[in-house]
Amino acid sequence: MTLRPFFSYFGSKWRLAPRYPAPRHASIVEPFAGSAGYALHYPDLEVTLVDLDPVICGIWRYLIGATRADLLALPLIEPGQSTDDLACCQEARWLIGFWVANATERPRKRLTSWALRWGKQFWNEDNRARVADGVDRIRHWRVIEGPFASAPAARATFFVDPPYVGKSRVAKITGGIASMRPVGDRYRCGTKRVDYAALATWCRTRRGQVIACENLGATWLPFTHLVSAHAACPGHRSEEAVWTNERVQLALGAIA
């Protein structure tokens, strides 16, 4: 049975995961793990999460080792309070920090202006309980801190979701001229930390099933359009693309 996300993360594939091919192997490897949006749909398989970001790896190690009681004992965050003020370990503060703002690329320390204005927040008793209820399902998961090449080479389903280079964003405007950067450079370990030519070769040489994600327009693999999806920014859409090393039927169309 599918697990809901343990934390909100920019670019998460949890909602889109059913659009991608189902795993054909008993083991799933996510070499750009983030919030593990694909693996959460198949949590009872063997799952290996690989990420270069020590914060992401720290959160997952904490979740895998924490008890339900540990999670339920985590403090909520009040207006004006920082996660640095919370009486819990650093990994738990990072976890809570991802709940402070929705779909963020790094943990935040304080409630957003939206949360303060409307008196709502995502790190509440209900979501804390949901996170606590899910940790027993991921005890067998393992975490590797390092680049994509650190992933095990055994036959598996590899779900590859790196920082995107196929879509650009306005980074700054100087003298009326917009400077564009890949949307994937927002991450702590973003596009500048990835050798995409090496990643393409790595994807082509894996044993098993490989599913690689990008935005339409990326060229490091011959991607094809998958779905038009709501983006994290209100009013915007993301043209998701996919490459797979197996001949599979992909579901196309719009998704909310």
Does residue 238 lie in a domain region? yes
- Which of 241, 182, 187, 183 minimizes the C-alpha distance to 212? 241
Does residue 215 lie in a domain region? yes
The pLDDT tens digits for 157-171 are 999 999 998 665 534
| H or E segment and range at residue 96 | helix 90-100
Phi, psi of 227 (to 5 degrees): -165, 150
Residue 41 CB coordination number (10 Å): 19
Q: Is the pLDDT of residue 86 over 90?
A: yes
Does residue 186 lie in a domain region? no
User: Mean pLDDT, to the nearest integer, of 233-246?
Assistant: 79
Does residue 45 lie in a domain region? yes
pTM for this structure? 0.87
Domains: count for the chain: 1
Does residue 219 lie in a domain region? yes
Does residue 177 lie in a domain region? no
CATH number where 121 lies: 3.40.50
The pLDDT tens digits for 139-161 are 999 999 999 999 999 999 999 99
Q: What is the pLDDT of residue 185?
A: 61
The pLDDT tens digits for 170-199 are 344 455 544 445 665 666 667 788 999 999
Residue 148: give the domain boundaries.
1-162+207-248
**Higher pLDDT, residue 111 or 84:** 84
Q: Is 139 in contact with 190 (CB distance < 8 Å)?
A: no
Does residue 233 lie in a domain region? yes
Does residue 243 lie in a domain region? yes
